[in-house]
């Protein structure tokens, strides 16, 4: 059960229950939809980017605790950062969840991302943790018209 | 046939089981003795694939150890032996399905392959623009997508029998869908995501009143019910070996001889021909016409042993035992107040699908895995069913004849732990 506790840390369970920045963003100018055909999880990421800065970010969708918590933590980290910083965070996250479970974790550098280190022990769940981040990168690349609430 | 008695080489002995005991059956399945993460394996994912008894494993080992050669061609001892064993399996399948003739038994690579064979060889010949194919809302993707592809190619139209919120097909709606353009009905016997047992005989009769052929997807049915294709009256029946304690990569298409005779060839290649010149090819007789290329010989022979194994235990015992275990499972699970069942048909077999308030199926699957309990979580290749019930995924426990009531006790213990963590 130790590895399970490592995966389902309190922080992850909290974010799952009460996700931050959950909902639509009416004045978003970037958005993308992510889909995991393996489990049917769907997520939408909405961004308001101005002068290379992520001014606001929100997400909607359904998914497991890992994917919801990952999306929630991601929004708190990316909000207020530059696009370049967001991309660097993605890379750091990606490296973390795809490295060997035995690899040393630099807690200081990873900061809030470190809670996802437990995912490395569960290969079938890496996609759950990564879905939101991949959707974020797709949204940053795909500039779209503002999402209308009409 | 008499092939069996003239066969040389060891035919794995299948012991007569008198007073049947589930523990005795379990002993035949070596994998069920193993542990996972230090816990005894509780295997409740039989709708995805069943485990294999030692008899099947030994048959395959025996084939590769002492009998391996290509079939239907060699004039030497081993090739004749392999051919005899392969064709003997065809006789076992014929008897198992109670088909009239060996010509009606085509070996495939599985249920999906069988449906695709029919979609190509029957569909491309007989289904034209404006024609209609009827399937149901609870089909596996493998009984949806081949027909969609056919419809795209031909301009035919797919019609869908709806189901109610218990997961039962609406037969009145089905009869309303039938019209002069209907060219085929393709329906699942037992739903893999809901466990619903469809009134397949009634469906076949209604279709036949209008001379419409019927394909039955029997993938989930064969390990629970005795199949008699003559009694059912179906025109096509498909199933997979690995869902009835046989190997993966092998399956069966039963098709009525009169229909099979009129169909286009499917794959072209060796073994499906009588003679080939660059000007003209003469196709082989049934059923070989539909078995191009070297087949999964070991798989076919292993499937024969698996079917004999099931016949030896008998569907009477299997039915009685599984009904008891399934009922017990429903009872103990329904005591968990956070559970909602998906699929509550009057007549169910093998499958219990459910969702738990506040816990995603994937999290349930990961937790249970560490308890040694293997269940399936996801959409089970039936996304339209998930859409109907407005859930992204479910947790599914599915049983076979070797499951016991205590397997559900282990499942329930695991679920209580998860619910506690997530509450």
Asked whether residue B209 is assigned to any structural domain, the reply reads: yes
Tokens of B223: 């390990």
CB contact under 8 A, B421 and A8: yes
Find the CATH number of the domain harbouring B386.
Answer: 3.90.1150.10
C-alpha torsion B24→B26→B30→B35, nearest 10: -130
- Smallest Cα distance from B363 to chain A, Å: 6
Asked whether residue B331 is assigned to any structural domain, the reply reads: yes
Average confidence (pLDDT) over B211-225 = 98
Helix (H) or strand (E) holding A74: helix A65-78
- Rounded CA gap, B330 and B352, in Å? 7
- The two beta strands, B157-161 and B42-43, are unpaired
Judge whether B140 and B381 are in contact, CB under 8 Å.
Answer: yes
Asked whether residue B49 is assigned to any structural domain, the reply reads: no
Please check whether residues B283 and B381 belong to one and the same domain.
Answer: no
B247, B280, B311 - which closes a domain? B311
- Smallest Cα distance from A63 to chain B, Å: 7
B288, B311, B334 - which closes a domain? B311
Please check whether residues B252 and B329 belong to one and the same domain.
Answer: no
pLDDT at residue A144, rounded to an integer: 56
Find the CATH number of the domain harbouring B83.
Answer: 3.40.640.10
ipTM: 0.86
Q: Quote the domain boundaries for residue B398.
A: 315-422
Angstrom CA distances, A107 to A92, A128, A130, B14, stand at 12, 22, 19, 59
Give how many domains chain B has, as a whole number.
2
Q: Which residue has the tokens 């959707």?
A: A135
In A, which residues are within 8 Å of B418 by CB distance?
none
Please check whether residues B285 and B324 belong to one and the same domain.
Answer: no
Close Cβ partners of A27 (under 8 Å, ≥ 6 residues apart): A48, A56, A146
In A, which residues are within 8 Å of B359 by CB distance?
65
User: In whole angstroms, how large is the CA radius of gyration of chain B?
Assistant: 22
Please check whether residues B337 and B229 belong to one and the same domain.
Answer: no
- Rounded CA gap, B321 and B328, in Å? 11
Asked whether residue B21 is assigned to any structural domain, the reply reads: no
Judge whether A112 and A72 are in contact, CB under 8 Å.
Answer: no
Please check whether residues B160 and B278 belong to one and the same domain.
Answer: yes
Asked whether residue B275 is assigned to any structural domain, the reply reads: yes
CB contact under 8 A, B366 and A122: yes
Kindly indicate the confidence band of residue B13, based on its pLDDT and cuts at 50, 70 and 90.
low
pLDDT digits (tens, 9 = 90+) for A62-83: 889 999 999 999 999 999 999 9
Average confidence (pLDDT) over B228-235 = 98
B280, B311, B342 - which closes a domain? B311
Mutation test of the interface with chain A: which of B45, B357, B363, choosing the one with the most A Cβ atoms within 10 A? B363
Closest CA to A62 of B194, B358, B115: B358
Q: Which residue has the tokens 């029946």?
A: B237
Close Cβ partners of B305 (under 8 Å, ≥ 6 residues apart): B12, B14, B55, B56, B59, B246
Kindly indicate the confidence band of residue A109, based on its pLDDT and cuts at 50, 70 and 90.
confident
Close Cβ partners of B241 (under 8 Å, ≥ 6 residues apart): B110, B247, B248, B249, B250, B251, B252, B299, B302, B303, B306
Angstrom CA distances, B267 to A47, B9, B213, B258, B263, stand at 50, 33, 22, 20, 12
Kindly indicate the confidence band of residue A1, based on its pLDDT and cuts at 50, 70 and 90.
low
In A, which residues are within 8 Å of B379 by CB distance?
39-40
Find the CATH number of the domain harbouring A135.
Answer: 3.90.1010.10
Q: Give exposure, A59-75, as e/b (b: 16+ Cβ within 10 Å).
A: bbbebbbbbbbbbbbbb
In A, which residues are within 8 Å of B381 by CB distance?
none
Tokens of A56: 């606001």
Would residue B151 show up in a list of annotated catalytic residues for this protein?
no
Q: Using the predicted structure, report yes or no on whether residue B106 has a pLDDT greater than 90.
A: yes
Closest CA to B377 of A128, A59, A3, A94: A128
- Smallest Cα distance from A42 to chain B, Å: 9
* Candidate list B32, B158, B381, B412, residue with the active-site label: B381
In B, which residues are within 8 Å of A42 by CB distance?
392
pLDDT digits (tens, 9 = 90+) for B59-84: 999 999 999 999 998 889 999 999 99
Please check whether residues B240 and B340 belong to one and the same domain.
Answer: no
Query: Which range, of B202-206, B208-212, B268-272, averages the lowest pLDDT?
Result: B268-272
Helix (H) or strand (E) holding B282: strand B281-283
Judge whether B306 and B53 are in contact, CB under 8 Å.
Answer: yes
Q: Using the predicted structure, report yes or no on whether residue A132 has a pLDDT greater than 90.
A: yes
Please check whether residues B242 and B362 belong to one and the same domain.
Answer: no
Closest CA to B85 of B259, B367, B308, B365: B308
Whether B367 and chain A come into contact, CB under 8 Å, resolves to yes
Please check whether residues B292 and B400 belong to one and the same domain.
Answer: no
Judge whether A64 and A119 are in contact, CB under 8 Å.
Answer: no
Judge whether B402 and B51 are in contact, CB under 8 Å.
Answer: yes
Q: Where are the alpha helices (DSSP H) in B37-186?
A: 54-62, 77-97, 111-118, 124-126, 145-154, 171-177
pLDDT at residue A111, rounded to an integer: 85
Per the prediction, chain B carries an average pLDDT of 94
pLDDT digits (tens, 9 = 90+) for A11-54: 999 999 999 999 999 999 999 999 887 777 889 999 999 999 99
Give how many domains chain A has, as a whole number.
1
Asked whether residue A121 is assigned to any structural domain, the reply reads: yes
Mutation test of the interface with chain A: which of B37, B141, B360, choosing the one with the most A Cβ atoms within 10 A? B360
Kindly indicate the confidence band of residue B19, based on its pLDDT and cuts at 50, 70 and 90.
low
Candidates B367, B393, B422; nearest CB to A39: B393
Please check whether residues B85 and B168 belong to one and the same domain.
Answer: yes
Q: Which residue of A has its CA nearest to B361?
A: A64
Closest CA to B362 of A4, A41, A1, A7: A41
Judge whether B87 and B67 are in contact, CB under 8 Å.
Answer: no
Which is higher by pLDDT, A113 or B13?
A113
pLDDT at residue B140, rounded to an integer: 97
Q: Quote the domain boundaries for residue A75.
A: 2-141
Tokens of A76: 């708190």
Q: Using the predicted structure, report yes or no on whether residue B16 has a pLDDT greater than 60.
A: no
Asked whether residue B256 is assigned to any structural domain, the reply reads: yes
Kindly indicate the confidence band of residue B294, based on its pLDDT and cuts at 50, 70 and 90.
very high
């Amino acid at each position: 059960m130790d590895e399970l506790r490592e995966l389902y840390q309190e922080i992850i369970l909290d974010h799952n229950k009460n996700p931050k920045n959950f909902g639509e963003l009416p004045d978003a100018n970037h958005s993308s939809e992510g889909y995991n055909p393996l489990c049917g999880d769907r997520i939408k990421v909405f961004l308001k980017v101005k002068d290379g800065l992520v001014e606001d970010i929100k997400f909607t969708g359904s998914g497991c605790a890992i994917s919801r918590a990952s999306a929630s933590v991601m929004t708190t980290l990316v909000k207020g950062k530059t696009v370049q910083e967001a991309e660097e965070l993605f890379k750091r996250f990606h490296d973390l969840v795809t490295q060997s479970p035995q690899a040393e974790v630099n807690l200081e550098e990873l900061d809030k991302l470190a809670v996802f280190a437990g995912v490395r022990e569960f290969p079938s769940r890496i996609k759950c943790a990564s879905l939101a981040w991949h959707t974020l990168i797709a949204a940053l690349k795909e500039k779209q018209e503002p999402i209308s609430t009409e | 046939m008499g092939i069996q008695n003239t066969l040389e080489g060891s035919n794995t002995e299948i012991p007569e089981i008198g007073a049947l005991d589930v523990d005795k059956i379990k002993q035949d399945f070596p994998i069920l003795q193993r542990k996972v993460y230090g816990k005894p394996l509780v295997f409740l994912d039989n709708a995805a694939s069943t485990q294999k008894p030692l008899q099947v494993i030994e048959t395959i080992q025996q084939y590769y150890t002492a009998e391996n050669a290509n079939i239907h061609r060699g004039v030497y001892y081993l090739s004749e032996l392999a051919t005899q064993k392969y064709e003997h399996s065809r006789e076992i399948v014929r008897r198992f399905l109670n088909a009239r003739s060996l010509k009606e038994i085509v070996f495939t690579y599985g249920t999906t392959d069988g449906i695709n064979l029919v979609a190509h060889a029957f569909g491309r010949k007989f289904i034209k623009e404006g024609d209609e194919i009827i399937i149901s809302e609870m089909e596996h993707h493998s009984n949806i997508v081949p027909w969609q592809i056919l419809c795209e190619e031909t301009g035919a139209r797919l019609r869908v029998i709806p189901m109610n919120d218990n997961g039962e097909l609406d037969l009145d709606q089905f009869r309303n869908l039938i019209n002069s353009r209907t060219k085929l009905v393709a329906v699942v016997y037992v739903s893999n995501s809901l466990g619903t047992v469809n009134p397949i005989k009634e469906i076949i009769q209604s279709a036949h009143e209008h001379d419409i052929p019927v394909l039955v997807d029997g993938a989930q049915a064969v390990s629970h019910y005795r199949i008699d294709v003559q009694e059912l009256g179906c025109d096509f029946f498909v199933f997979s070996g690995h869902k009835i304690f046989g190997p993966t990569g092998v399956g069966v298409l039963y098709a009525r001889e009169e229909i099979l005779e009129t169909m286009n060839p499917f794959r072209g290649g060796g073994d499906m021909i009588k003679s080939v010149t660059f000007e003209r090819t003469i196709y082989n007789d049934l059923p070989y016409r539909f078995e191009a290329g070297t087949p999964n010989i070991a798989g076919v022979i292993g499937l024969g042993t698996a079917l004999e194994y099931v016949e030896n235990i008998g569907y009477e015992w299997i039915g009685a035992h599984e009904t008891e275990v399934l009922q017990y499972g429903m009872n103990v699970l329904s005591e968990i107040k956070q559970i909602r069942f998906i699929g509550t048909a009057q007549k169910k077999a093998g499958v219990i699908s459910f969702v738990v308030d506040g816990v995603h199926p994937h999290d349930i699957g990961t937790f249970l895995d560490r308890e040694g309990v293997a269940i399936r979580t996801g959409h089970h290749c039936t996304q339209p069913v998930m859409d109907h019930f407005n859930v992204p995924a479910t947790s599914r426990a599915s049983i076979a004849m070797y499951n016991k009531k205590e397997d559900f006790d282990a499942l329930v213990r695991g679920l209580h732990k998860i619910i506690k963590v997530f509450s």
